[in-house]
Structures are given as structure tokens and as C-alpha cells.
Structure 1
Amino acid sequence: MTTPSTDIMDDDRRTVRLAEHLAFSSSFQPLFNEGMTLVDETAVYLDGPGRSEAKQLSKVASTLYAAESMRLTTRLMQIASWLLLQRAANQGDMSRAQVEAEKRKVRLESFHSKNDTALFNELPEGFRDLVDRAHKLERRIAMLDREIYGGLQVRSADAPNPVGEQLALLKTAFHA
């Protein structure tokens, strides 16, 4: 006869974690392709049509476009980093422990967009579409990440404060 605690342990070993199965199986390839395609599409857009469309914007909208472009490219680089780490684990090039150590450098859902402002609607439709798709993909990947590797990590007191770092850079730049 088994004890209740033994039954629970057996159930945990038999539990299929769908997010983990997705990230560590051939089912991961469509997500990887989607992310890398979005990175490529964004690069082509920003270097081509986006550049000429941005020149036609008002000064204020142009400033928002520049800021959102930086957020978008940063977001996509974080997504690409996560996807490449998962692919390396999926292909056996990295252990799960190595991926966990490296993915601490990846920040998902940390670059908020100003798409809730009325001015955001003045930006080119193609650009807004890329921002929207990147947000949706980032949320999906962040959800997968939390399901696979656990909840959000609590920042320790001695960890660098990204806002503080940016303020220090600004002070240095403006000699304040």
C-alpha cells in the first residue's frame, strides 16, 4: 500500500508540463520561426519604409517614433536571446542549468510602450503593427518562461538599479 505522500510524488513525476514540453521539443520551432521572422521584418521595415515614413511625422510624433523604435528593437533582441537560448537547450548544446544561468540576462516585459497615448495613433500603421506583434510575442514568451523556470525573480538589494544607472548616465552626459 502506498502512502498519500508517495502518491503525490508519483503524480508530480507523471505530470506533463505543457510549456516545458513546448520549449524542449520540436513544437518549439514554430515559435522560434515566428520570433526570428518578426526580428527580420522589423529590421527591414525600420531600414526601409519606416525611415521614410518617420521623416513625414511631426516633431513630437517623430520623437515618440524614435523612442518606440528603440524600445521595439530592445524588446526584439531580448526575445531573440530567449529564443536562441531555448533552441540551444532544445538541441542539446546547453544544459537546462546553463540556460537558466544565461537567461538571467534576458529581460522580458520590461520595456513599456507609450501606445496608450493618443499620439501613438499618429505613428505609421506598419510600425504600430510591429509594436503590437512584438508585445504579444513577448507576453507569450514571458508566460512560457514563468511556467518553465518559475516566477519572477526578486531583485536583490545589491543588484544594479536600471533606473539609477540611466540617471547616472544622464548626469554624466549633462555634467550635472
Structure 2
Amino acid sequence: MPETSPNTVNIADHIAHSAPFKALYAEGMGLVEETASYLDGDGRVASKALPRMAAVLYAAESMRLTTRLMQMASWLLLQRAVNNGEMSREQVVAEKSKVRLDGFNVDRAAAGWDDLPEMFRDLVERSLRLQNRVALLDREIYRPQDAQTLKADNENAVQAQQTLLATVFASR
């Protein structure tokens, strides 16, 4: 792994303190509020009219959706706390070990999925996209060695291809 110089700029840390992070934070918290409002209102009404299989799926997916959003909200709040100087990076690292940003996938082929209300499916899809963005930012900020390893692996793969091409064309 390459050494970083004192003049190296950590792009992920810069992103975490930038306007795009603030937009991500606002989007995440807005989605939490929108989902809560839907599940307590129109979603509750719509779920009562669902066929049995869809109703069971709705109950399971709404729990997953709520859990996914609460995990993301926890991460966003922790990141905001470190950005605002309310917590140290070390404190956030210790606390964020309790936050799961993966493992909440959805089986769109499950029986009853197509019977679920369109608004509910939209909230699920948006939460998954947001989860992926937050997880990516988390890896960039808190696990730079993973990012460096991935970068090194990609560079090695490119170098291997270049060597192979050079060998092929040199032998002609």
C-alpha cells in the first residue's frame, strides 16, 4: 500500500464535510419522514386491502424498510456529529460499529411483490439506492485501506493486461 504524504488530500473526508453530504443528509432524513408518514397513513390503509401473500410480504418488507432507514439515519447523524465537532472520529468509529449498512436486500420476485402498493415499492427502491450511496461513502471515509486495496488490485489487473498486450505484440 502506498504511503500518503502530509500534503495528501483525503477526498472522502472532504466529501463528508461538503454540500453533497448535506444534501445526502437532507435526502436521507426526508426519506425517513416520508416513509414514516406513508406507513402511518396511506400505507396502513392500502395494506388492509392487500391479498394475503402481499399483506404478509408488506409486513415483512415494511419492517426491513424501517430498519434500513433507521440504520442509515444513525450513520448520517453520527457523520453529522463528527462534522460538527460534537464527536471525535474515534468515538464515531466505535459507535458506528453498531450500524449495519448492508444485508437488507429485497426479493422483487417474491410472491405478492407486484401486488404491493406502487408508493411502497418506490420507497423501498429509493431506500436501497440511498443505502448503497451511504455504504459507499462509509467505505471511503472509514475504510480507506479497503479502497486502497481495491485500487491496487485494479491497477494490478490493468498492469497485467498491459503486460499481456505488450507480450503479444512484441512477439509479432
On whether the aligned pair clears a TM of 0.5, the verdict is yes
Alignment match of 1:94 (pick from 82, 87, 92): 87
Counterpart of 1:148, as a letter, is: I
Q: SS of the residue aligned with 1:14?
A: coil
Q: TM-score, normalised by structure 1?
A: 0.76
AA aligned opposite 2:126:
R
Aligned to 2:73: 80
- Please report the RMSD computed on the Cα atoms of aligned residues, expressed in angstroms: 1.8
Match of 2:10 in 1: 17
Query: Would the aligned equivalents of 1:24 and 1:86 in 2 still touch at CA under 8 Å?
Result: no
Aligned to 2:136: 143
- Structure 2 gaps, min length 5: 148-172
Q: Distance in 2 between matches of 1:116 and 1:147?
A: 32
Matched AA of 2:103: S
* 8 Å Cα contact 1:68-1:114 kept in structure 2: no
Rounded to whole Å, the distance in 1 between the matches of 2:89 and 2:95 is: 10
Measured in 1, the distance between the counterparts of 2:117 and 2:19 equals 36
Could you say which residue in structure 2 is the equivalent of 1:167? none
Matching residue of 2:167: none
Report matched runs for 1:26-37 at 5 Å.
Answer: 26-37=19-30
Structure 2 vs 1, CA of residues 18 and 121 (structure 1 numbering), >3 Å: closer, same or farther?
Answer: farther
Q: 5+ unaligned residues in a row in structure 1: which ranges?
A: 1-7, 153-176
Q: What does residue 40 of structure 1 align with? A: 33
Q: Hey, what's the Cα distance between the residues in 2 that align with 1:19 and 1:63?
A: 41
Structure-1 separation of matches of 2:111 and 2:5:
49
Distance (whole Å) between structure 2 residues aligned to residue 35 and residue 86 of structure 1: 12
- Residue identity opposite 2:49 in structure 1: Q
Cα 1:118/1:20, change in 2 over 3 Å: farther
The normalised TM-score by structure 2 is: 0.78
Match of 1:104 in 2: 97
Task: Show the counterpart of 1:125.
Answer: 118
